[in-house]
A and B are shown apart, each in its own frame.
Chain A
């Protein structure tokens, strides 16, 4: 956000206005830079030959590195949500809906967010640091000088790897959290596993799965975009790489939360529209 401090538009503003506007201007500046960088990635993807082995290598590496964390988080997040929903549903004598509500919440909201924050903390920070180090040690300049497009060779595989992995890890995380939640519902909440699962299909349909996948895709684009952008534009030695990683962590979280609000609203609006047009009853 420091870039906005020197913004000519804010010079001459009162200290209070400046204190309020500087973070907003800084965030908008970051959004603008990210959009331009994503445009560069898209243009590179459309105009250059793909590097499928490098993308597959990234996906494999990301999934391998995140598997243990996703398993651990997925199991416990599923279990925690079951306990919370169960306490409320028991009050209304509606424990039968526990499986459906729990799975819907995980697929629609908690799963994509959980996977994204794991990806941001583990892979996003790593990618920003890796590309940042490559930038400050002139590896990116060297690749460019050897006649290779660094966005095509270094950024695109990492970006696509993060986006595709976020979808794979989401599917994995949902399945693991369902195992964890079914176990807790059976052992601690006294439900029969079949009874627990009986309402899942009433709450989770194709639209719910689409919502989860769409959110995960958008968050993956944000994590991949911010991590690659911050690393690729890092400047000034070890301190510059440190700054890039810190800023990447900050903006990945901030933008994902903002995107969550907007994608939730947009998906609800699209659902209402389609429901009215096609006569859908539930998702």
Chain B
């Protein structure tokens, strides 16, 4: 079971963002999608959950063609895919508790259980999920504008994790965060992916993070795939764009890794 793209093409007006893009995400791996702004990284991710429809091509999740599914089929796929957006995307009118428990009350989730969860079970699940992202129950009754941006990101992650997704999709999860919180979120992605044994696709600009936690890295450029390689291969790459990305991260790397990259360059 995996995610597979077959000859996906997508244009917005005259601009072609993706053209004949094909790749597969293996079960349990962490795939990083890197690229400059406007190269179709987020667009790629949104095709997995059917929020966007391709002009051509197909996207398979667990063998089901997302592009051909009706509303019920899409809801079923979305239940398996937890998506963390660039913004925290929490509903302002709901408290932290209501936001995190949102996915546990949807008809698709309830249908997947032998019987609906009781309020106590929901409360226990929300508490447990918030603990996974290092947050306590003291923020249950607070509303998104009342907590910091970093906490909102964590709550957003908890909301995604609560229904127990098979796939985790991260759209620039560390954008707008300070370096300390960025590191914490990156560690969290790695731990969660390993601990919960889920397949993760992470869209990011952050090569340092990719080198740290990715199994493979997909680089998008000029509407196509520039590279789809493991981290050691990426480190040895001669592609100018990849070298530019690596160059950006040099100062942030430990001395031994920096020396290795400089030697490759």
Contacts and interface: CB of A to CB of B under 8 A. Distances in A.
Asked if A and B are interacting partners, one says yes
Interface size class of A (residues with CB under 8 A): 10 to 19
A138 interface: yes
B85 interface: yes
Contact of A145 (B51, B91, B107, B109): B51
Contacts of A53: none
A146 B107 CA distance: 10
Contacts of A145: 49, 51, 78, 81-83
B108 A147 contact: yes
Contacts of A148: 102, 106
Given A144-B51, A145-B81, A147-B79, A137 B89 contact: yes
Nearest to B92: A139
Given A145-B78, A146-B78, A147-B103, A139 B108 contact: no
Nearest to B106: A147
B177 to A, nearest CB: 16
Interface string B69-91: 00100010011011101110111
A149 interface: yes
Contacts of B87: 137-139
B78 A141 contact: no
Contact of A139 (B49, B86, B89, B107): B89
A142 interface: yes
Nearest to B108: A147
17 contacts: A134-B91, A137-B89, A139-B87, A139-B91, A141-B89, A142-B91, A142-B159, A143-B91, A145-B49, A145-B78, A145-B81, A145-B82, A146-B103, A147-B75, A147-B103, A147-B109, A148-B106
B201 to A, nearest CB: 13
A144 B52 CA distance: 11
A145 B156 CA distance: 12
A142 B82 CA distance: 9
Nearest to A44: B71
A139 B94 CA distance: 12
Contacts of B79: 147
A4 to B, nearest CB: 15
Interface in A107-137: 134, 137
B159 to A, nearest CB: 7
Contacts of A144: 49, 51, 78
A7 B71 CA distance: 32
Given A137-B89, A144-B78, A146-B102, 7 more contacts: A134-B91, A137-B87, A138-B89, A142-B159, A144-B49, A144-B51, A146-B106
Contacts of B82: 145
Contacts of A141: 46, 51, 83, 85, 89
A148 B107 CA distance: 8
B91 A147 contact: no
Interface string A19-48: 000000000000000000000000000000
Contacts of B75: 147
Could you say which of A139, A146, A148 has the most chain B C-beta atoms within 10 Å of its C-beta? Answer: A146
Contacts of A142: 83, 85, 89-91, 156, 159
B260 to A, nearest CB: 38
A146 to B, nearest CB: 5
Interface string B155-178: 010010001000000000000000
B89 A147 contact: no
Could you say which of A137, A138, A143, A147 has the most chain B C-beta atoms within 10 Å of its C-beta? Answer: A147
A131 to B, nearest CB: 12
Interface string A142-165: 111111110000000000000000
Contacts of A138: 85-87, 89
Contacts of B51: 141, 144-145
